[in-house]
Amino acid sequence: MPPPAFLLGWAYHGAGDDRQAISAWRRSAYLDPTFVPAHLALVDLFNRLSQPALALQAVRAGLAVLPDSPELAERLTRLERR
């Protein structure tokens, strides 16, 4: 089951409040660093907001905890190609 902070992030994002969505997803990643979808949500939103440095920071934070995550490794590869 997804952490409540993760679901709250999607609610904020759906309402157009990306600043609050980022805060919620960061909280979710902090509370459960092994929850890959929280890291992915941050990476993807930072990309959409044209914040590549923050996207890289988010993917690297996820990989620090989950170095074998194929999803995070794939996002890192995509970011490094840019």
* Predicted structure pTM score: 0.94
Q: What is the distance between the alpha carbons of residues 38 and 58, in angstroms, rounded to a whole number?
A: 10
Q: Phi, psi at residue 50, to the nearest 5°?
A: 55, 50
pLDDT digits (tens, 9 = 90+) for 47-57: 999 999 999 99
Distance CA 33, CA 62 (A): 7
Q: What's the pLDDT at 67?
A: 97
- pLDDT (average), residues 3-21: 97
Among 38, 11, 44, 7, residue whose Cα is nearest residue 25 = 38
- Who contacts 53 (Cβ-Cβ below 8 Å, separation ≥6)? none
pLDDT of residue 1 exceeding 90, the answer is no
Question: What is Dmax (Cα atoms) for the chain?
Answer: 34
Q: What percent of the chain has pLDDT over 70?
A: 100
